[in-house]
Structure 1
Amino acid sequence: MSWYNEAIFYHIYPLGLTGAPKHNDYSAPVSRLNTLLPWIDHIKEIGCTALYIGPLFESVGHGYETTDYKKLDSRLGTNEDLKNFVEACHEKGIKVIFDGVFNHTGRDFFAFKDIQQNREHSRYLNWYCNVNFGGNNEYNDGFSYENWGGYNLLVKLNQRNPEVQNYICDVIRFWVSEFDVDGIRLDAADVLDFDFMRALRRTAAEVKEDFWLMGEVIHGDYSRWVNGETLHSVTNYALHKALYSGHNDHNYFEIAHTVKYLQNMGNLDLYNFVDNHDVERIYTKLSNKALFAPVHVLLYTLPGIPSIYYGSEFGIEGKKEKFSDDSLRPALNLEDYADAVQKNPCTALIAALGKVRQHTPALSYGSYAELQLTNRQFAFARDLDGVRVIVTVNNDDNAAGMNLPAGNCAEYIGTLTGQKVSVQGGCINVTVAANSGEIWVPAGEMPEYTPIKTEIPTKTAKAEEKIAEPVSIQSETPVQDVNLAAAETATAKAEEQQPEKTAENHTSEAAAVPEEPVKTVTVDPNKSPEDMTVEELQQAILAKMANNGPVTDQMKKTVYDNIWHDSLVNWFKSFR
């Protein structure tokens, strides 16, 4: 097994966390990255073993319009600063992965600047997609080109050009030789060319043992990207959505159904998260803040690799705005959260879960088996080498009892509370506190834990308020009983981009799936995928699926949820 199979990730958006200027004037470097050095000890203290940090390299604005892949953004410092930062992480046993923005570049990238200067005679003309000197754009270049997401600030690279492939692969080699990076998160992986990703995978195998490639994918059958030829993992947006809406709607069926749906894709080690730099903070999303606890118990125990976005371990707010993501990417001073592990119930929980995860191999490698499921209670097992670990969560305002089939041992212990229960008749009878969760392990299989106890803040508060001031430690209330303030439910990135496809409340004993659209779309077989509309591509993909076997409602939902043209084109081509 590899390091990433057991990893617990911490995610930093460095331009935001360091308070860097929004615009890069390419002036002398300012070593803001060095202000993040104290965060390394914090990352280790809360039990994280890997860091995803990015974007890092020279750009003009938010970081995803790269202008130089081999130079740390001037607003963050120098290459030497980055080299020292990664080295400091490695000294603490923390692996590091960078953001790889390889689908597009910024307009200040050398190849695009050459096209602006030399036009039809530029040797880099074929480095980009569909450069057309019969067109124009808002920058008055006198030519048009393909972009990402409708933004001409982001110029789409021609990933089928061998020169572009070789250049990006050389960038990866440079990052390993210069900074000793351990992997890459590929931005916009759902629109990357599959042959290009295969080239990246070959390079990954060449540059470093266990070099990890993880891709940003919103929708689709994740096995198209996660396999032996392309990527090791992708972002698990399906589970992200289920975790917050399943709790807000008191519907554990949605979460359990999503887990089964993902399991049907194969044994994929997906990158699990409850928030990131593109979606609202989980603390803002939850209608009842007490649900922070069961949400994170599931994040750390369901199949996949858990990740915490910087600041969310403190329970901070972050509401997505129409024209800005600044509130999702704030500057934070670590000194403001001193002793958070001891005094902040959210941080205490995350640190406890990190410790449990590190000492419980079944949570990284074990099989998954559903044990009990209602709208408000959910239990499952992770089994490995004869050891059964049992996870219980409760989204109700009252405690709930569960009778669950146990492993071959005499006694179980709750790792978060220290509660011990005997196995009787092959089962354990446990009580799960209101709005909480617990991880039960065979007694003797785990180190003894001192339960983390916290005072419970008030359950209601204004939506705009942040978590209460640090709370004092009490002796009678376990960590998973944390009841935090209530606030409005918010929607995530994917749902905001496609509100008409957002799942509504789920109250039945199966996750709801949308009906197939009434509109009939006829697909012209002579059309190229690039010329098809989104609706035509969706129908064409469903037809391809039907050739391979029955098409379920969930498969239809996955197709109709994907409204990104480039992603659908790649999906359609993958059937060939």
Structure 2
Amino acid sequence: MSWYNEAVFYHIYPLGLTGAPKQNAYEEPVHRLNTLLPWIDHIKEIGCTALYIGPLFESVGHGYETTDYKKLDSRLGDNEDLKNFVAACHEKGIKVIFDGVFNHTGRDFFAFKDIQEKHQNSPYVNWYCNVNFSGNTEYNDGFSYENWGGYNLLVKLNQRNPDVQNYICDVIRFWVSEFDVDGIRLDAADVLDFDFMKQLRRTAEEVKPDFWLMGEVIHGDYSRWVNGSTLHSVTNYALHKALYSGHNDHNYFEIAHTVKYLQNMGDLDLYNFVDNHDVERIYTKLSNKAHFAPVHVLLYTLPGVPSIYYGSEFGIEGRKERTSDDSLRPALNLADYADATEKNPCTALIAALGKVRQNTPALNYGSYAELMLTNRQYAFARDLDGVRVIVTVNNDDNAASMNLPAGNAAEYVGTLTGEKVSVENGSINVTVAGNSGNIWVAAGDMPEYKPVDMAAKKPETASENSSANTAKTEAASTTEAKASNYKSDAEPAAENTAASESAVNPAASEVAASNDVSADKEAAADNEATSQTASEKSEVTVDWTKSPEDMTVEELQTGILAKMANNGPVTDQMKKTVYDNIWHDSLVNWLKSFR
């Protein structure tokens, strides 16, 4: 087995955490990355063994419009800073993976700039998809091109071009040789070319033993991406949605159904999370804040690799706004959370779960078996080599008793409470407090941990610090925000006097959307308010003689539901999941995933 099978991840969005300017002026490096060095000890203290950090490399604004894949963003520092940062993580036993934004580049990338200058005579015309010199853009380029998500700031690379493949593979080799990185999270993996991903996998196996490739995938049969020839793992958006809505609706059936749905895809080691830089904080999403405890018990114990997004271990909030994701990506001062593992119940719980995970192999490798399921109580076992670990959660305000089949031990201990129970007639009788959970292991198999207060009453200091930091960040960036309308892109367009007026509004409108291009990822992943059920959709007939690429979004959605129906009953939740996905490329890949 590899390091990533046993990892607990910490996720950092560095431009946000360091309070970097929203726009890159391409000036002398400012060494903000070094301010994250103290976070390494914190990451280790709360039981995380790996760090996903990114985007890191030179870009225009939010980091996903890459200008230079081989240069640390000057707002964060220089390459020496990044090299030292990864080395410091390794010294503490923490693996590091970078964000790999290989589906598209920014408009300041050298290949795109060459096309702007030379047009048809540029040797890089075929580096991008569907460059058309009969078309134009809102930037008056004199040509049009394919983008990601409708944003012309993100120019889609032609991943079938061998020169592009070789270039990106050389980037990966550079990242390993220069920074000693341990893996890559592939942005927008659900629209990456599969042959391209196979080439990335071959490169991964070449550069470093156990080099990990994890992809951002929202919908579909995850096994299409996770296999021996493409990626090792993908983001588990299906479980992400189930974890928060299953608690908000007091519906553990949704979570258990999702686990079975995922298991039917095969033995996949998926990247589990309850929030990230694209979605609202879990503490904000939960209707009952006390559900923070059972949500995270499940995050750390269900099959997959758990991940914590920076700041969420403190119970901070972050609400998504249509025009900005700044509240999801705040600047935080670690000193404001000193002694959080002792004083903040949220942090104490995360730290305890991290230690339990590290000391319980069955949570990394064990099989899954459902033991008990009601709307408000849920229990399951993780079995490995004759050792049974039992997980219990309760989303009700009142305590609940459970009688559960145990393993071969004579006594079990609840690792989060220290409570011990005897095995009688092959079972244990346990009581789970309201809005809490526990992980029961054979007594003597675990180090002794002091009980964790799972009341989940977030200390006022944590809330106040979060608000204060948000206010500081907003105040510090007010001037930058006013000038942030993607001036790097607006200015070249404005140089053309005739087109200057048309360049201003497009840049401004794109900033509202692409200040976080992921706003629509969130909508696709969990858009509860506006999704339509099958009965609300007008009937659509699928022309199966068409290729998926030629189908409309509505045809693709209908086709996916038809394929699902061939495999068994289609629930309302499954229909909702399909209709929530409005991305054509993602739906194409989803339809193709049915065998």
Fold conserved between structures, TM > 0.5? yes
Q: Is residue 535 from structure 1 mapped to residue 554 from structure 2 by the alignment?
A: yes
C-alpha RMSD of the superposition: 2.3
Question: Which residue of the partner structure matches residue 96 of structure 1?
Answer: 96
Question: Which residue of the partner structure matches residue 523 of structure 2?
Answer: 496
State which drifts further: 530-539 or 167-176. 530-539
Q: Partners in 2 of 1:320 and 1:456 — Cα distance?
A: 23
Kindly indicate whether the alpha-carbon contact (under 8 Å) linking 2:105 and 2:154 is maintained by their aligned counterparts in 1: yes
1:467: Cα distance to partner? 8.3
Question: Which residue of the partner structure matches residue 570 of structure 2?
Answer: 553
* 3-state secondary structure, aligned to 2:219: coil
CA deviations over 1:364-396 (Å, ceiling 9, x no partner): 000000111111111000000100000000111
Q: Partners in 2 of 1:238 and 1:528 — Cα distance?
A: 26
**Aligned positions of 1:372-383 closer than 5 A:** 372-383=372-383
1:535: Cα distance to partner? 1.6
Q: Is residue 80 from structure 1 mapped to residue 99 from structure 2 by the alignment?
A: no
1:445: Cα distance to partner? 1.3
Q: Is residue 520 from structure 1 mapped to residue 539 from structure 2 by the alignment?
A: yes
Change (3 A) 1:167 1:332: same
State which drifts further: 113-122 or 529-538. 529-538
Question: Which residue of the partner structure matches residue 304 of structure 1?
Answer: 304
CA deviations over 1:62-117 (Å, ceiling 9, x no partner): 00000100000000000000000000000000000000000000000000001000
Q: Partners in 2 of 1:447 and 1:496 — Cα distance?
A: 43
Q: Partners in 2 of 1:457 and 1:501 — Cα distance?
A: 27
Q: Partners in 2 of 1:372 and 1:446 — Cα distance?
A: 24
Kindly indicate whether the alpha-carbon contact (under 8 Å) linking 2:18 and 2:35 is maintained by their aligned counterparts in 1: yes
Question: Which residue of the partner structure matches residue 31 of structure 2?
Answer: 31
Kindly indicate whether the alpha-carbon contact (under 8 Å) linking 1:382 and 1:389 is maintained by their aligned counterparts in 2: yes
Kindly indicate whether the alpha-carbon contact (under 8 Å) linking 1:220 and 1:559 is maintained by their aligned counterparts in 2: no
Q: Is residue 231 from structure 1 mapped to residue 196 from structure 2 by the alignment?
A: no
CA deviations over 1:374-427 (Å, ceiling 9, x no partner): 111110000001000000001111111111110111100010110000001111
* 3-state secondary structure, aligned to 1:317: coil
CA deviations over 1:454-482 (Å, ceiling 9, x no partner): 887489x9xx978899xxxxxxxxxxxxx
Identity %: 83
Amino acid at match of 1:217: V
Change (3 A) 1:468 1:380: farther
1:322: Cα distance to partner? 1.0
Change (3 A) 1:223 1:503: farther
Change (3 A) 1:371 1:467: farther
* 3-state secondary structure, aligned to 1:90: helix
Q: Partners in 2 of 1:116 and 1:419 — Cα distance?
A: 68
Q: Is residue 398 from structure 1 mapped to residue 415 from structure 2 by the alignment?
A: no
Change (3 A) 1:447 1:499: closer
Q: Partners in 2 of 1:22 and 1:531 — Cα distance?
A: 38
Change (3 A) 1:367 1:456: closer
Structure 1, unaligned runs of 5 or more: 470-491, 505-512
CA deviations over 1:26-65 (Å, ceiling 9, x no partner): 0000110000000000000000000000000000100000
CA deviations over 1:317-336 (Å, ceiling 9, x no partner): 10001100000000000000
Question: Which residue of the partner structure matches residue 418 of structure 1?
Answer: 418
CA deviations over 1:203-222 (Å, ceiling 9, x no partner): 11111100000000111111
Kindly indicate whether the alpha-carbon contact (under 8 Å) linking 1:418 and 1:451 is maintained by their aligned counterparts in 2: yes
Kindly indicate whether the alpha-carbon contact (under 8 Å) linking 2:278 and 2:522 is maintained by their aligned counterparts in 1: no
* 3-state secondary structure, aligned to 2:132: coil
1:135: Cα distance to partner? 1.1
Amino acid at match of 1:20: A
Amino acid at match of 2:215: G
Amino acid at match of 2:581: N
Kindly indicate whether the alpha-carbon contact (under 8 Å) linking 2:103 and 2:188 is maintained by their aligned counterparts in 1: yes
Amino acid at match of 1:357: R
Change (3 A) 1:545 1:247: closer
Amino acid at match of 1:536: E
* 3-state secondary structure, aligned to 2:22: coil
Structure 2, unaligned runs of 5 or more: 469-518
1:569: Cα distance to partner? 2.6
* 3-state secondary structure, aligned to 1:52: strand
Kindly indicate whether the alpha-carbon contact (under 8 Å) linking 1:12 and 1:309 is maintained by their aligned counterparts in 2: yes
Kindly indicate whether the alpha-carbon contact (under 8 Å) linking 1:114 and 1:124 is maintained by their aligned counterparts in 2: yes
* 3-state secondary structure, aligned to 2:409: coil
Kindly indicate whether the alpha-carbon contact (under 8 Å) linking 2:336 and 2:465 is maintained by their aligned counterparts in 1: no
Q: Partners in 1 of 2:413 and 2:188 — Cα distance?
A: 43
* 3-state secondary structure, aligned to 1:380: strand
**Aligned positions of 1:23-62 closer than 5 A:** 23-62=23-62
Question: Which residue of the partner structure matches residue 169 of structure 1?
Answer: 169
* 3-state secondary structure, aligned to 1:553: coil
Kindly indicate whether the alpha-carbon contact (under 8 Å) linking 2:102 and 2:187 is maintained by their aligned counterparts in 1: yes
Amino acid at match of 2:133: F
**Higher helix proportion (structure 1 or 2):** 2
Amino acid at match of 1:496: A
CA deviations over 1:337-383 (Å, ceiling 9, x no partner): 00001111100000000000000000000000011111111100000
Question: Which residue of the partner structure matches residue 582 of structure 2?
Answer: 563
Question: Which residue of the partner structure matches residue 472 of structure 2?
Answer: none
Q: Partners in 1 of 2:467 and 2:140 — Cα distance?
A: 51
Change (3 A) 1:452 1:519: closer
* 3-state secondary structure, aligned to 1:257: helix
1:552: Cα distance to partner? 3.7
Q: Partners in 2 of 1:72 and 1:79 — Cα distance?
A: 5
Q: Partners in 1 of 2:457 and 2:589 — Cα distance?
A: 49
Change (3 A) 1:302 1:499: closer
Q: Partners in 1 of 2:526 and 2:255 — Cα distance?
A: 20
Change (3 A) 1:248 1:532: same
Q: Is residue 126 from structure 1 mapped to residue 153 from structure 2 by the alignment?
A: no
CA deviations over 1:141-172 (Å, ceiling 9, x no partner): 11111100110000000111111111111100
Amino acid at match of 1:273: F
What TM-score do you get using the length of structure 1 for normalisation?
0.90
Q: Partners in 2 of 1:495 and 1:178 — Cα distance?
A: 34
* 3-state secondary structure, aligned to 2:307: strand
1:524: Cα distance to partner? 3.9
1:538: Cα distance to partner? 3.0
Kindly indicate whether the alpha-carbon contact (under 8 Å) linking 1:29 and 1:77 is maintained by their aligned counterparts in 2: yes
Q: Is residue 267 from structure 1 mapped to residue 286 from structure 2 by the alignment?
A: no
Kindly indicate whether the alpha-carbon contact (under 8 Å) linking 1:541 and 1:559 is maintained by their aligned counterparts in 2: yes
Question: Which residue of the partner structure matches residue 507 of structure 1?
Answer: none
Q: Partners in 1 of 2:578 and 2:70 — Cα distance?
A: 37
1:567: Cα distance to partner? 1.5
**Aligned positions of 1:255-294 closer than 5 A:** 255-294=255-294
Question: Which residue of the partner structure matches residue 500 of structure 2?
Answer: none
Question: Which residue of the partner structure matches residue 477 of structure 1?
Answer: none
Change (3 A) 1:323 1:449: same
Change (3 A) 1:551 1:191: farther
* 3-state secondary structure, aligned to 1:336: helix
Kindly indicate whether the alpha-carbon contact (under 8 Å) linking 2:411 and 2:423 is maintained by their aligned counterparts in 1: yes
Question: Which residue of the partner structure matches residue 449 of structure 1?
Answer: 449
Q: Is residue 241 from structure 1 mapped to residue 241 from structure 2 by the alignment?
A: yes
1:11: Cα distance to partner? 0.1
Question: Which residue of the partner structure matches residue 158 of structure 2?
Answer: 158
Question: Which residue of the partner structure matches residue 370 of structure 2?
Answer: 370
Question: Which residue of the partner structure matches residue 212 of structure 1?
Answer: 212
Question: Which residue of the partner structure matches residue 486 of structure 1?
Answer: none
Q: Partners in 1 of 2:539 and 2:185 — Cα distance?
A: 38
Amino acid at match of 2:538: K
Kindly indicate whether the alpha-carbon contact (under 8 Å) linking 1:220 and 1:562 is maintained by their aligned counterparts in 2: no
**Aligned positions of 1:309-320 closer than 5 A:** 309-320=309-320
Change (3 A) 1:107 1:321: same
Q: Is residue 358 from structure 1 mapped to residue 385 from structure 2 by the alignment?
A: no
Q: Partners in 2 of 1:454 and 1:431 — Cα distance?
A: 14
Kindly indicate whether the alpha-carbon contact (under 8 Å) linking 1:315 and 1:466 is maintained by their aligned counterparts in 2: no
Amino acid at match of 1:377: Q
